[in-house]
Amino acid sequence: ETGVTQSPTHLIKTRGQQVTLRCSSQSGHNTVSWYQQALGQGPQFIFQYYREEENGRGNFPPRFSGLQFPNYSSELNVNALELDDSALYLCASSLEGNGYTFGSGTRLTVV
Amino acid sequence: RKEVEQDPGPFNVPEGATVAFNCTYSNSASQSFFWYRQDCRKEPKLLMSVYSSGNEDGRFTAQLNRASQYISLLIRDSKLSDSATYLCVVNYGGSQGNLIFGKGTKLSVKP
């Protein structure tokens, strides 16, 4: 049974650029959630995808968007990057919202 | 008021000490409760679920008081390897549920 894998592990982008982060869910899981964790803070919920549709969203602007594919993998896209978007982005998969498994995250630095 | 609030840290304790973490949550609709552990620059990992009846896992004891909307974690006989950030987490439940994290409390166990 493979766990949750995220890519890339680290990324440096310039303010105003766009970024795509990727997540492969754990085998058998159909729900993917994305979280943003700024330094010294707890993870903050961005949104969740269930069976390829957005199924809940936190307090993040529309420039944060996502996709879920038929194999339940997912992408997080962020447009018009701002310095405050620098954070660890975590993906978590689950089966029907039960028993979350986290990936090791993508550390994004915006300069 | 934040949805999940935790004791401010850091907690610096000697090996063998007993340490207690407290957490309160604001939404009475919360259905599931957890403690996660996060090591430096790593992803959060589930430490234990928390039930109203209280539950114990070795040196770790978790308690939930729904009436007071209060969660606790007790660590007995602290080990150096317990050094980490402990995150209090609630979930509204169901397939649309998502995890709401506290800011975390950092624990450092010293020799």
Residue with tokens 């993998």: A73
Q: What is the mean pLDDT of residues B22-51?
A: 92
* A33 touches B: beta carbon within 8 Å: yes
Q: Which band of pLDDT confidence, cut at 50, 70 and 90, is reported for residue B59?
A: very high
| CA–CA gap between residue A14 and residue A27 (Å, rounded) | 34
Q: Which of B4, B96, B102 sits opposite A97 (nearest CB)?
A: B96
Is the pLDDT score of A37 beyond 70?
yes
Q: Which of A50, A90, A104 sits opposite B95 (nearest CB)?
A: A50
Task: Choose the mutation target among A29, A100, A104, A107 for the interface with B, i.e. most B CBs under 10 Å.
Answer: A100
C-alpha dist (Å) from residue A32 to A75, A104, B102: 10, 14, 20
Q: Say if CB A19 and CB A11 are below 8 A apart.
A: yes
Burial class (CB in 10 A: 0-12, 13-18, 19+), B68: exposed
Is the pLDDT score of A76 beyond 90?
yes
Task: Classify strands B105-110 and B19-25 as parallel, antiparallel or unpaired.
Answer: unpaired
Q: Which band of pLDDT confidence, cut at 50, 70 and 90, is reported for residue B34?
A: very high
Q: What is the mean pLDDT of residues A83-108?
A: 92
Is the pLDDT score of A86 beyond 90?
yes
Distance from CA of A65 to the nearest CA of B (A): 17
* Range in A68-72, B50-54, B95-99, B107-111 the model is least confident about: B95-99
pLDDT value at residue B7: 86
Please give the span between the terminal C-alpha atoms of chain A, in angstroms, as a whole number. Answer: 37
